[in-house]
Amino acid sequence: MARKGILLATVMLLLCSAGLVHAQEDKLGITLDVTYLSSYIDRGFDTYGPGGHSAVQPSIDIDLYGTGFGLNVWSSRAVSSGYEDAEELDITLSYGSSFFEGETYVTDYKIGWVYYNYPDGPTKDWDMQEFFAEISLPDICPAGIVPSYTIICMWPSVSDSPNVSNNGGWLHIFGLGYDLSIPGIIEGTTEQVLNLSANAVYNDGTGGANVDHDWSHLVFGASTAFDLTKNLVFTPGIYYQASMDDSVNDDDETWCSLSMTYTF
């Protein structure tokens, strides 16, 4: 019943938001995305079991009139059979803005709440919730390197869950990003931007009773966006994970992503 209520509330929010488009001078920002992952690696864990099973992940993101408030509905499903119980339908409510605008130390921040729902799971006892807060300093480094930090707290939606009672905990993600400009790849373009990233993750017990409180992994990534039309963007990416804690993942991982994004 709780799961159905969440899904119904989400649909109502989407419908109400769509209706408000006609009542506001500023339009909603609506982004549709479909992403294919060659392997679904989530915060260090091989989500669909050893072997690197691929996934398709559609989502809708709503920017509420530039207020900083946003709603995201995201889903993931394994391409291979046998992982139906692990299909996700996640809901995120967030707010983002900036401190110290106009200064070198301008700080972008975003806070939010996530509900992790498993529609085909055996019971709602599998569901999790999350609070996150992230900051970044886009202008602090003259060379263009952007440092960031994200703190995440996860807990079971059902406090006495027999399935995920030990899965809650904290995550700390320290990141660096850099946009590298190179000559245009597609005819008619003069510049192509490579989005480079590096993240170090400290897992403070999230994911199960046997997960260590330790540095779990490093992730290095590179992606770039191709504007196919005014509103349609294709973004390929490649990622490598150096696993440091066997309680999270005892293998290094490499995977690619292919995203198609349409913005209204």
Q: How many other C-beta atoms lie within 10 A of the C-beta of residue 157?
A: 18
Q: What is the 3-state secondary structure (H, E, C) of the chain?
A: CHHHHHHHHHHHHHHHHHHHHHHCCCCCEEEEEEEEECCCEECCEECCCCCCCCEEEEEEEEECCCCCEEEEEEEEEECCCCCHHHCEEEEEEEEEEEECCCCCCCEEEEEEEEEEECCCCCCHHHCEEEEEEEEECCCCCCCCCEEEEEEEEEEECCCCCCCCCCCCEEEEEEEEEEEEEEECCCCCCCEEEEEEEEEEEEEEECCCCCCCEEEEEEEEEEEECEECCCCEEEEEEEEEEEECCCCCCCCCEEEEEEEEEEEC
Q: What is the pLDDT of residue 203?
A: 97
Question: What local confidence, expressed as pLDDT, does residue 25 receive?
Answer: 56
In order along its 264 residues, the chain shows pLDDT tens digits of: 344 445 444 544 554 454 444 445 568 899 999 999 999 999 999 988 777 789 999 999 999 998 999 999 999 999 988 888 888 999 999 999 999 999 999 999 999 999 999 887 766 788 999 999 999 999 999 999 999 999 999 999 887 777 788 889 999 999 999 999 999 888 778 899 999 999 999 999 999 889 999 999 999 999 999 999 999 999 999 999 999 999 999 999 999 999 999 999
- Token pair recorded at residue 162: 């027999």
Query: Which of 257, 229, 195, 262 shows the shortest CA–CA distance to 35?
Result: 257
Q: Which residues touch 110 (CB under 8 Å, ≥6 apart)?
A: 94, 95, 96, 132, 133, 134
Question: Given this model, what pLDDT does residue 18 score?
Answer: 47
Q: How far apart are CA 16 and CA 5, in angstroms?
A: 16
pLDDT at 8 (0 to 100): 41
Query: Which pLDDT belongs to residue 86?
Result: 83
Taking only the tens place, the pLDDT of each residue in 205-227 is: 999 889 999 999 999 999 999 99
Contacts of 242 (CB under 8 A, 6+ apart): 217, 218, 219, 220, 252
- Residue 84 has a pLDDT of 80
CA distances from 55 to 41, 117, 151 (A): 10, 17, 26
Tokens in use for 69?
A: 């408030």
CA 159/CA 168 separation, integer angstroms: 10
Choose which CATH entry (1.10.1740.10, 3.30.70.260, 2.40.160.40, 3.30.110.30) describes domain 2-21+29-263: 2.40.160.40
* Sign of CA pseudo-dihedral 151, 244, 196, 42: negative
The answer to whether residues 257 and 240 touch, using CB atoms and an 8 Å cutoff, is no
What is the rounded distance in angstroms from the CA atom of residue 7 to the CA atom of residue 4? 5
Predicted local distance difference test score (pLDDT) of residue 114? 97
Q: What is the pLDDT of residues 36-65, one digit of tens each?
A: 999 999 999 998 877 778 999 999 999 999
- Residues forming beta bridges with residue 128, ordered by sequence position: 116, 156
Q: Where are the domains of the chain?
A: 2-21+29-263
